[in-house]
Structure 1
Amino acid sequence: MKFLQSLLGKTRFAVRNGSLPRVSGTRFYNVPAEEYNRRNYAKNVQEYNTVLGSLNAQRRIFLLRDVYEDMMLDGVRPTRETFHALAVGSMRGSRMHDAFFFKDQMKIMGLVPDVTFYNFLISTCGKCKNSDQAVQILEEMKSMEVKPNVQTYICLLHACAAQGRIDRVQIIVRDMTAAGLGLNKFSYAGLIVAHQNKTPLTDDFDAKVIEYVGRSKNWSSVETDSANAENVMVGVTDEELYNLPTAEYVTRRGGFLNRPFTAYHTAFNAAADFKNVKLTDTLLEMLEKENKTPDIYIVMQVIRCYCHAGEIDRGLQFFEDFLALGKGNAAEIYVTLAEGAMVGYTEKGMQISIDILTRMNERNFFMNSKMGSELLIMAAGEKTGGYTNANYIWDLMRARNIYPSLAAVEAYYQGLKDRQIPQDDPRLMLVTQMYDNLRSRFRT
């Protein structure tokens, strides 16, 4: 009641002020047609769909709902393609509330959500770790007489795996088998993720991971290819749909990711997360017995596991051995080793880290803002020593016009302040200025 009274009070004030549209959210265009056309960025549903596709590609997910509201104001009726684009964006941004809003709007427009839309919805629930809602979506599909496909079940499997719900995952596997849907590499990856996220960790975790990786080599030929034309058209890969850790790397150049290794990727990632050197070594032996060479993603996970487990020398040796094979090279493996060597901030590790970064710089490898920011945050945590690594990373990013994130700048700024550097120091002044600018932009 107090909220309604407050809103009524604001409305009366707005009427007297002439600013009612700003309060009510209604927009009026009392401008000439030429001016209106200049302001309006889309005129029909095809142009709006193009705008939505562009926003999805740029990961500017927060603008999707604004675009949809503009469509409504312009009287443009959205199509099924429009809602698919909105669902993809909501999935990528982990915006479950928006995803369900667009589902309701789709029904209001007289469009029945199809299996592809529901798959995006279940995937969004998985990203938000809400398996209960994902199960409810499957029940809604059945009530709407929308037949689930193999993607639906695998999306649901991964949504339950994200919460470590092994009991639900096993039921889904049973249902898939009963429906004649074979388990493919993504299914076995989901089983590994489920055991990885199980709390507390089961005693047979290593044995289960090895078992699923082994079984994935003989995955069923029944509906093996889970991709469909709609997903390809909107640029959604299977790895992204199922929320696998390799999703951000799948579109990289050849040699970075060997897609048949999906179960191996998930297993090596889990081993690295748990600093499980024994499991990592076992998986490497399995690959060697198959006469297969690890791809760059696996190399990153092996180095990460060794370094975080305190075996920096083994991580460095594995790095050198892989480069000597000439099977591939990327900035990510340099960054992984440089970051892992800084764990514990030992004198030897910090020296290895800066040596690797120097080698990477000499080879002119591109380092984006994400990698640089993660390195800077790690280096800024050094409490003793000369702060050489953090300063080098900062100078390297500045020389290449790479802008670090607010979190990275803040960590570096606090590290400099803790060292009681004079206020007129040029480096500190520059960092302070950038920190203040970023803080005013993102924390207003």
Structure 2
Amino acid sequence: MRLLHSFAAGRTSLFRALGRRHFSVAAAGPSEELSRRNYANNVSEYNTVVSSITSQRRYFLLRDVYDDMMLDGLQPTRDVFHSLAVGTMRGSRLQDAFFFRDQMKSMGLIPDVALYNFLISTCGKCKNSDQAIRIFEEMKKYGVKPNGQTYVCLLNACAVGGRSDQVMGIVRDMTADGASLNKFCYAGLIIDQKNKTPVTQDTAAKIIELVEQSKGWSPEGLTNTAENSMLGVSEEELYNMPTAEYVSRRGVFFNRQLTVYHVAFHACADLRNVQATETLLEMLKNDGKIPDIFIVMQVMRCYLLSGDLDKGLKTFEEYLDSGRPPTIDLFVTLVEGAMVGYTPRGMELAQETLNKMNARNFFLSPRMGSDLLLVASGEKTGGFTTANFIWDMMRARKITPSLPAVEAYYKGLKDREIPEDDPRLFAVSKIYDDLRLRFGAGPRQRN
């Protein structure tokens, strides 16, 4: 009886997430009752449900859908496992990815090269290069021949951890197999340089050198994207490029031919190396290219992370004055960068930028708003007005920030010794408690 109770509770969460079908309650037989409570009736419908959950970024529900499929006595096909692998990759859910791989093998289905590529990519997202190497060895054990994409996935998975020994070994294996380095390989080599520890004085010089070397890259032998395209996975996403989320965005001035430059500018921004960033801008100009919006964002990030508000703001304004269409990402980059160090002028600039963003009818998504609220809530002095402003913007659109963002905001309010009966503090504490209960964090400590 308890098992049935548990199963019913699990189904309820899925009904809420997916939207329960409405059937007549006057069901006469078992088949009608099954139809009434199910949200999918066959393998094809379950595959659609998996894709829907992935598109909604509700990756934590993938195991629930799979369990329901098993309880309904349906045998997953290779296509279903591919969809599940894509979902776990996008959600960085490594344990779920291994679970689905093991389930697939237990049913006599050997993972194909595309699925192994998704698994290796997931390892890269989770910064687990050792597991990526094990997956690669497993492929060879089962006689699954790696393709060009496998090597690039593996290279980038190792690059995330700055494992240069592994990265160079993969490059040697690729060239031994007759494959040439393409732009994503050079991007991986740049990521590897950025992530090596400790950072040395010649790190930026090596990044610039790799950009120069990449200009003769060859796409031969490494383009095998049919399976990925069918599942809506771009190469940028498969290889965990920092540009992955911008590739399929409409209305974004984004040049896919500048992949190596994208990664190089992103790396130099993370390293806060203004000189290298300006060298890259000069190189881009000499190549007859103009910075797309992603590159502009990285230039802004570099200046702002380095504490140069003036140059960061100037880069932002020059882009707006160019007549090219802006995106909300441009505004969010300036807001987040302006808050570095929580200087009075920076916090003021952040609020001004948020107002300009609203004036252009750009609205924060749940993720963007949560990220900004988390940063703004770290302000220890001042009036906490930026954090309050971001919170009000989100709540005005009935958006609830993530639990970490709400927790940081709540603690920031408490640090200011606001009375317990303050309306803002009361509303925030209620949402905070609700989120803790929802995600199993338990009740908060009462002072």
TM-score, shorter chain, exceeding 0.5: yes
Please list every run of 5 or more consecutive structure 1 residues that lacks an aligned counterpart in the other structure.
Answer: 1-17
Please list every run of 5 or more consecutive structure 2 residues that lacks an aligned counterpart in the other structure.
Answer: 11-28, 443-447
The residue correspondences of 1:260-409 to structure 2 (distance < 5 A) are 260-409=257-406
Greater shift after overlay, 183-192 or 378-387? Answer: 378-387
Answer yes or no: is the 8 Å Cα contact 1:409–1:435 preserved in 2: yes
1:418 to 415, 434, 438: 415
1:74 to 72, 78, 81: 72
> Over aligned residue pairs, what C-alpha RMSD do you find?
2.3
Greater shift after overlay, 198-207 or 305-314? Answer: 198-207
2:120 to 109, 119, 122: 122
Deviation at 1:166, TM superposition (A): 0.7
Answer yes or no: is the 8 Å Cα contact 1:189–1:263 preserved in 2: yes
Deviation at 1:21, TM superposition (A): 5.5
Deviation at 1:416, TM superposition (A): 2.1
Deviation at 1:124, TM superposition (A): 1.6
Q: Residues 20 and 305 from structure 1, CA distance in 2 versus in 1: closer, same or farther, beyond 3 angstroms?
A: closer
Deviation at 1:153, TM superposition (A): 0.4
- Choose 1 or 2 for highest CA Rg: 1
Deviation at 1:386, TM superposition (A): 2.4
CA distance in 1, matches of 2:316, 2:325: 11
Answer yes or no: is the 8 Å Cα contact 2:147–2:222 preserved in 1: no
Q: Residues 346 and 103 from structure 1, CA distance in 2 versus in 1: closer, same or farther, beyond 3 angstroms?
A: closer
Deviation at 1:224, TM superposition (A): 5.1
1:255 to 252, 255, 267: 252
Answer yes or no: is the 8 Å Cα contact 1:249–1:256 preserved in 2: no
Which residue in 1 is equivalent to 2:212? Answer: 214
1:92 to 64, 76, 90: 90
Which residue in 1 is equivalent to 2:15? Answer: none
The residue correspondences of 1:134-145 to structure 2 (distance < 5 A) are 134-145=132-143
CA distance in 2, matches of 1:408, 1:69: 31
Deviation at 1:323, TM superposition (A): 1.2
Name the SS of the counterpart of 1:344 in structure 2: helix
Deviation at 1:184, TM superposition (A): 0.9
1:33 to 15, 31, 34: 31
Which residue in 1 is equivalent to 2:56? Answer: 58
Q: Residues 33 and 421 from structure 1, CA distance in 2 versus in 1: closer, same or farther, beyond 3 angstroms?
A: same
Q: Residues 409 and 75 from structure 1, CA distance in 2 versus in 1: closer, same or farther, beyond 3 angstroms?
A: closer
CA distance in 1, matches of 2:397, 2:162: 42
Deviation at 1:22, TM superposition (A): 6.0
What is the identity, as a one-letter code, of the residue corresponding to 2:356? R
What is the identity, as a one-letter code, of the residue corresponding to 1:195? Q
Name the SS of the counterpart of 1:245 in structure 2: coil
What is the identity, as a one-letter code, of the residue corresponding to 2:403? L
The residue correspondences of 1:12-27 to structure 2 (distance < 5 A) are 19=2
Name the SS of the counterpart of 1:372 in structure 2: helix
Q: Residues 398 and 61 from structure 1, CA distance in 2 versus in 1: closer, same or farther, beyond 3 angstroms?
A: closer
What is the identity, as a one-letter code, of the residue corresponding to 1:45? V
What is the identity, as a one-letter code, of the residue corresponding to 2:195? N
Say yes or no: does 1:178 pair with 2:156. no
CA distance in 2, matches of 1:265, 1:20: 52
CA distance in 2, matches of 1:420, 1:133: 47
Answer yes or no: is the 8 Å Cα contact 1:255–1:327 preserved in 2: no
CA distance in 2, matches of 1:95, 1:214: 36
Per-residue deviation, residues 271-311 of structure 1 (Å, max 9, x unmatched): 11121111111111111212322111111111111111111
Greater shift after overlay, 196-205 or 260-269? Answer: 196-205
CA distance in 1, matches of 2:360, 2:93: 40
Answer yes or no: is the 8 Å Cα contact 1:107–1:113 preserved in 2: yes
Per-residue deviation, residues 130-159 of structure 1 (Å, max 9, x unmatched): 222222222222232222111000011011
What is the identity, as a one-letter code, of the residue corresponding to 2:332? V
Deviation at 1:168, TM superposition (A): 1.2
CA distance in 2, matches of 1:221, 1:240: 18
2:46 to 24, 45, 48: 48
Q: Residues 374 and 133 from structure 1, CA distance in 2 versus in 1: closer, same or farther, beyond 3 angstroms?
A: closer
CA distance in 2, matches of 1:101, 1:438: 28
CA distance in 1, matches of 2:108, 2:129: 28
Answer yes or no: is the 8 Å Cα contact 2:92–2:125 preserved in 1: yes
Name the SS of the counterpart of 2:312 in structure 1: helix
2:130 to 117, 132, 139: 132
| TM-score calculated relative to the size of structure 1 | 0.89
Deviation at 1:411, TM superposition (A): 2.1
Alignment length (residue pairs): 423
Which residue in 2 is equivalent to 1:108? Answer: 106
Name the SS of the counterpart of 2:342 in structure 1: coil
CA distance in 1, matches of 2:55, 2:309: 38
CA distance in 1, matches of 2:387, 2:194: 33
Answer yes or no: is the 8 Å Cα contact 2:148–2:223 preserved in 1: no
Which residue in 2 is equivalent to 1:150? Answer: 148
Per-residue deviation, residues 225-264 of structure 1 (Å, max 9, x unmatched): 34x2211111111111111111222221243422111111
